[in-house]
Amino acid sequence: MSGGLLPRDRDPVGRTDRPIHLTVDGEPSTGIAGQSVAGILLAAGRTSWRTTRSGAPRGVFCGIGACFDCLLTVNDVPDVRACRRPAADGDEIRTQSREETA
Amino acid sequence: MTVVIVGAGPAGLAAAEHALRAGARVTVLDQADTPGGQYHRMLPVAYAARRPDRVQQGRAEFDRRRRILTHPRCQWLPGSTVWAFDRTEKRVHVLRGRSDGGGRRRLSLVPDALILATGAHDRTLPFPGWELPGVYTAGAAQALAKGERVAIGERVLVAGAGPFLLPVAESLLGVGAGVVAVLEANPFTTVRKGWSSQPWRLAAHAGKAGELARYAATLARHRVPYRPGRAVIEARGADGVREVVTAKVRADWSVVPGTERTYEVDAVCVGHGFTPQPELAVAAGCLLNEGFVRVDAAQRTTVDGVFAAGEITGIGGAVTAAAEGAVAGCAAAGGKPAPELIRARDRALAFAERLATAHPIGTAWRSWLREDTIVCRCEETTYGELTRATGDAVRPGPHALKLGTRAGLGPCQGRICGPTVSELCGGVERHHRPIAQPIRLGELAARAEGEPE
C-alpha cells in the first residue's frame, strides 16, 4: 500500500485536475495530466512493476532518473524511466522483466 | 560569444543571468520540462496550480531568476538531454523530446564556452533489504511529494544523514503521509559542533537558520521525533518493505548492540548525502578531485572553455550552487567576476564545509552489511561476492573487479553503486560514461540539426 495522491480539495496549491486514462498491462488506470508514469502507478497503490534478473520486484528508487530501477514499456518502447516520463492520455504501459529484454 | 549551460537548477540559472549580463548569447538546456532543478522543483504546468508558492520555498526569488530565460539573448531548451560531448570538436550532442521515448530530435551545438551545472543525485548507502520496493532515496520522496503531490506511503520513516532529511519530512507531511521518525545517523554532538562553530560565518546564511527553525516547528507540530545517532540498518518484507530495523550508532556509525528497534512502515526513505553527476565533465576530459570536478577561482575546469558550477564541484546546497554559477557565467562570457561575486562564492563554500563537518559519513557503515546484502542494485552483486573478488590475487584492480562481479555494469552504469564499490573495494570512481544518457539506435542513426551531412 502506498500513500497516494493528495486529494485536490486538501491540497493548498490549488490544483486543477484533468483526468487522463491509460492502461497498465491491459488494465485501465487513471491519473491526472502532468503526473509521471511512476506517480500514477504509485498513486494507484502499486509499488513495483519490474523484475530483475533474479526475479526480484522493483519500482521507484531514486525518483530522478539516475538508478534505472523503474524501467517499463510505454507504447511498445521498452526501458523508459517511469519517474522521468510524463504520462499522456491513452498511454499503454507494460511492466518489464529483465530476462525478457536482456 | 556563445555560452551553452547544461542544467537549469540554481547553478545553471545564476550562470545564465551572469553570462547574459556580460554580453554573451546563452543557450540553457535541461532534461526537465520546467527550470529549477531538484531544488526549485516546480509542479507540472498541467496542474495549473493557483498557489504554487505554498510548497515552493523562495518562490518569488526563483520567479525572478527564471525570468532570465526569456531574455532576448537567451535560448531556453527544456526537455533536452545532453547524451554526449565530443571533446575534439567541442560539440554538445542533444536529444529533444519526451524522456526515453524513441523519435526524439537530435541537435548539436558548438559553443565558445560550456558551463556544466548537472547537479547531483542522492547517495544511499546499502543495507540489508534496501532493494525492496517501498525503500526510496530521500530525493525520490521529495520529487514525488513536491513535484506531483504523491505520498510514497502512509507510515514513512525518514533516515540517513544531512539537513536535506528535514525538508523531505516536511514535504511528506504536506501530502498527508505519516512520518514515524526522522533519524540522523550522526550523533547530536557532531551535528551541533558542525553547525555552531564560528557562528559569525553563518551570517551569510541567516535564511538557513530560519529554515531549520521552521522544519523543527513542523516536526514538533506533527509530533515527529528527530533522533540523532540512529540509523536504519535493515528493511524487511516479502515483496515490499513492511518493517525497518533501526539501531543506535556510534560516531563512526557502528551499531551499538542491543539498541535495535523495529518500526512497522509501508515506506522508508533514506539519503546519506549526494553523489555528483560529472559524466559530461569526464567526457570533456576535465580532471576530478575525489569524484568532483576540479575548478579554479573562476570556476574554470582543467579543460579550456569548459566551466563547472554547483554540486558537481562539491556538495554545498542551492545557495552555494548559485554563487558558483554566478562566477562561472561571468567568466565563461569572457568577463572578470566582480569581487562581490567571488566573496559571496567563497562565503558559500565555507558554509558547504560546515555542512560536511556537521553531517559526515561514518566509516563503519559497512558493518551493517551481510554476505548476501545487495550492493549493485542493477546486477544484484552482493557484498560477499565483492569482498571475495577484492581478495582475489589473480584478478586485481577495479576493472577486473567490475568484469568479475558485474557490479556497475547494469543499466545505471554504476551511478548508484559506484561510490560504494570504490569505498568497499578500493580504487577511484571514474564516472566514465561516454554515452551520458540513453539514446536509441534509431535516434542515433537520424541526422542531427546543426551538423554537417
User: In this structure, are residues B78 and B32 in contact, taking their beta carbons and an 8 Å threshold?
Assistant: yes
Residues B298-356 pLDDT 10s: 999 999 999 999 999 999 999 999 999 999 999 999 999 999 999 999 999 988 888 88
Q: State which fold the A17-101 domain adopts.
A: Ubiquitin-like (UB roll) (3.10.20)
In angstroms, the first-to-last Cα distance of chain A is: 30
Nearest-by-CA chain A residue for B32: A84
Residue segments in chain B with a per-residue pLDDT below the cut of 50 = none
User: In this structure, are residues B104 and B80 in contact, taking their beta carbons and an 8 Å threshold?
Assistant: no
Question: Strand, coil or helix: what is B288?
Answer: strand
The closest CB to that of B136, out of A12, A63, A68, belongs to A63
Give Cβ neighbours of residue B407 (< 8 Å, ≥ 6 apart).
B375, B376, B379, B381, B385, B386, B401, B414, B417, B421
- The pLDDT score that the predictor gives to residue B427 is 76
> Using only C-alpha atoms, what is the Rg of chain B?
22
Residues B66-77 pLDDT 10s: 999 999 999 999
Return the DSSP state at B447: P
Q: Is the pLDDT of residue A102 over 70?
A: no
Cα A89 versus chain centre, distance: 13
- The pLDDT score that the predictor gives to residue A1 is 46
CB atoms within 10 A of CB B365: 24
Interatomic CA distance for residues B156 and A5, integer angstroms: 15
- The pLDDT score that the predictor gives to residue B201 is 62
C-alpha cell at B80: 533536452
Cα B227 versus chain centre, distance: 24
Question: What are the distances in angstroms from CA B207 to CA A32, B57, B134?
Answer: 35, 11, 33
The mean pLDDT value for A37-42 works out to 97
With 0.80 as the threshold, say if the pTM is over it: yes
Interatomic CA distance for residues B7 and B18, integer angstroms: 15
- The pLDDT score that the predictor gives to residue B204 is 58
ipTM above 0.90, yes or no: yes
CATH class of B2-121+275-337: alpha beta
Half-sphere exposure of B83 (CA within 13 A, CB side): 22
Phi-psi region of B397 (alpha: psi -120 to 50; beta: other; left: phi over 0): left
The closest CB to that of A5, out of B140, B150, B267, belongs to B150
Return the DSSP state at B435: S
Which residues of A fall within a CB distance of 8 Å from B443? none
Q: Hey, which bits of B127-260 come out as E strands?
A: 135-137, 150-151, 155-161, 178-184, 226-228, 230-236, 243-248
Could you state, in order of their start, the residue ranges of all structural domains in chain B?
2-121+275-337, 124-272, 378-446
Check CB contact under 8 Å for A48 and B240. yes
Question: Strand, coil or helix: what is B301?
Answer: coil
Question: Among B155, B134, B163, which Cα is nearest to B222's?
Answer: B155
How close is the nearest chain A Cα to the Cα of B176, in Å? 7
Among A44-53, A66-75, B432-441, name the one with the lowest average pLDDT.
B432-441
- The pLDDT score that the predictor gives to residue B400 is 79
Nearest-by-CA chain A residue for B156: A3
Nearest-by-CA chain A residue for B52: A13
How close is the nearest chain B Cα to the Cα of A23, in Å? 18
Q: State which fold the B124-272 domain adopts.
A: FAD/NAD(P)-binding domain (3.50.50)
Interatomic CA distance for residues A3 and B438, integer angstroms: 31
The mean pLDDT value for A30-54 works out to 96
Interatomic CA distance for residues B389 and B99, integer angstroms: 37
C-alpha cell at B233: 540498518
How close is the nearest chain B Cα to the Cα of A22, in Å? 17
CB atoms within 10 A of CB B254: 16
Mutate to test the interface with A, among B30, B53, B148 (most CBs of A within 10 A): B148
- The pLDDT score that the predictor gives to residue A101 is 47
The closest CB to that of B100, out of A2, A67, A80, belongs to A80
- The pLDDT score that the predictor gives to residue B322 is 96
